[in-house]
Structure 1
Amino acid sequence: MIGLTDEYQKMFQVEQQLWWYRQLHERVAAVLTTQFGDRRDIRVLDAGCGTGGLLSYLRDRGYTNLTGVDGSADAVTFCHERGLNVSLLNLNDLPDQPETDLFDAVICNDVFCYIAPERLPILLQRLARRLRPGGVFVTNNNAFALFRGQHDLAVGSERRFVRADLEPLFPPAGLRLRQSTYWSLVLSIPILAVRLLQRLELALGRKSNAARSDVYLPSRWVNETLYRIAQMENRLLPRTPFGSSLFLTGERL
């Protein structure tokens, strides 16, 4: 999304309230708790941190050693407004540095869709090299081309993924795959309906440069209902076969 100032503005305004972000942040926090228990001093790197919603969420829950990087100057500016330790760095330029200055957890959410296919294995290797042995890697990505719609055009997303695209990349990067699941299965039906409608609008002549993203806050009761549905699914169905997002975790060997 580099250069899409309006999209970063929308993200900054809603990501601490919108059901989708809330559920994603809870999923990430659950991984950290499973791996590190009640420790709040672990070193966490959010690579491609956007406007800092996840880092803010973790800070509010007591995590004290948080670092972020993002390739968008707009995103970094918003992060600094939140008082976060974030630097400007395009992940395509992430150095293949020696294994020093290591982290306990590296998170890279909804970034892979902007990375060229031939560069993705390199990026994953370089992110994994920033983990201590036993450290945890977390990544969430948009899933299934079937869900492609105006949202993808609006945010500049190039790809959608299935498990077979990403799981084989973990072992060569030095990561043991621990979790791989799509989400949200229950809400995939209305999400798909909206995306198919968006594609119909494009087919009927809506200009692609007028495409709208899905980053907006619905009414309070709708937002809370969607959040509760996604939350309940995560509790009852920790692994599902379908959904608009793909959530994976790995452990540094």
Structure 2
Amino acid sequence: MIDKRDEFGKMFRLEQRLWWYRILHESVERALLKQFGSRRDIAILDAGCGTGGLLDFLRRRGYKHLRGIDGSADAVAFCHERGLDVTLVNLNELASVTPQIQYDAIVCNDVFCYFDDPALHQLIYQLALRLKPGGLLISNNNAFNVFRGQHDIAVGSIRRFVLADFERLAPIANLQILSSTYWSLALSPLILLIRQWQNWQLRAGWRSADQPASDVYFPGEWVNQTLYKLVRAEQQWLPQAPFGSSLFVTFKK
């Protein structure tokens, strides 16, 4: 999604409101709290930070040492509008960026889907190099090919994941999976129905594959709040779901 300014613009406007981003940001914070307790002095890097919604969220939660990198000049510009410390870095070229600075936690959300296996091996390895011993790598990823649809085309995603993919990749970078869960199980039937309908429209020519629309839009306050509460309740009652359109994984070095 490096050159899709319109998509970045939607992210920038909705990251603090849309139910999906709120759930994701809170999931990252819970992972940090579980590993580091109430500390707010830990060094955190958001690799592929987009328009900076997560960094802004963590800043408002009191975290002090935050940095981001992203391969899109548009995304970095939006981050600078938020007053965030974000640098333009192509993650394919991360090996050329000095690993001397190490972090307590690195977040890499919805980024791995843009990399084929050889490039992903290298990226995860380079991220692990930048973790302190015992450091945490947090990553959300789109899951299960059955959910592939118009959104994937719109944002340029080339793949989806299952947990076995990360069980295979983690040892390459000397990482251990601490926790994992798919989400949201409760919304899976609705998401599947929407994605299949979108795919049928593309096949029928009712929609153009050259101008796909992503799922990043505000559905209205009542629907947005209802979806948020539903997924939040699911996470409380079922902290490790077996199925869902996203896969949230934490790794320890």
Normalised by the size of structure 2, how large is the TM-score? 0.97
* Aligned residue number for residue 72 of structure 1: 72
Q: Alpha-carbon deviation of 1:171? A: 1.6
Are the equivalent residues in 2 in contact too, given 1:96–1:126 (CA < 8 A)?
Answer: no
Are the equivalent residues in 2 in contact too, given 1:171–1:177 (CA < 8 A)?
Answer: no
Equivalent AA in structure 2 for residue 88 of structure 1: L
* Aligned residue number for residue 221 of structure 1: 222
Gaps of 5+ in 1: none
Are 2:235 and 1:234 aligned?
yes
Partner-residue secondary structure (3-state), 1:137: strand
Equivalent AA in structure 2 for residue 202 of structure 1: L
Q: Alpha-carbon deviation of 1:100? A: 2.4
Are 2:238 and 1:243 aligned?
no
Deviations 1:59-88 (A, max 9, x none): 000001000000000000000000000000
* Aligned residue number for residue 180 of structure 2: 180
Counterpart CA distance in 2 for 1:78 and 1:100 is 27
Counterpart CA distance in 2 for 1:167 and 1:226 is 30
Q: Report % sequence identity.
A: 58
Runs of 4+ in 1 over 3 A off after TM superposition: 96-99
* Aligned residue number for residue 39 of structure 2: 39
Q: Alpha-carbon deviation of 1:97? A: 6.1
Counterpart CA distance in 2 for 1:130 and 1:121 is 15
Are 2:21 and 1:15 aligned?
no
* Aligned residue number for residue 110 of structure 1: 110
Stretch moving more, 211-220 or 92-101: 92-101
Counterpart CA distance in 1 for 2:137 and 2:95 is 18
Equivalent AA in structure 2 for residue 219 of structure 1: G
* Aligned residue number for residue 159 of structure 1: 159
Normalised by the size of structure 1, how large is the TM-score? 0.97
Are the equivalent residues in 2 in contact too, given 1:25–1:57 (CA < 8 A)?
Answer: yes
Gaps of 5+ in 2: none
Counterpart CA distance in 2 for 1:128 and 1:171 is 11
Q: Alpha-carbon deviation of 1:251? A: 0.7
Deviations 1:18-76 (A, max 9, x none): 00000000000000001111110100000000000000000000001000000000000
Equivalent AA in structure 1 for residue 123 of structure 2: L
Counterpart CA distance in 2 for 1:158 and 1:39 is 37
For residues 77-116 of structure 1, the aligned pairs below 5 Å read 77-95=77-95, 100-116=100-116
Partner-residue secondary structure (3-state), 1:232: helix
* Aligned residue number for residue 127 of structure 1: 127
Are 2:192 and 1:192 aligned?
yes
Stretch moving more, 60-69 or 173-182: 173-182
Deviations 1:120-139 (A, max 9, x none): 11110110110101111100
Equivalent AA in structure 1 for residue 219 of structure 2: P
Q: 1:170 to 1:96 in 2, by over 3 A?
A: farther
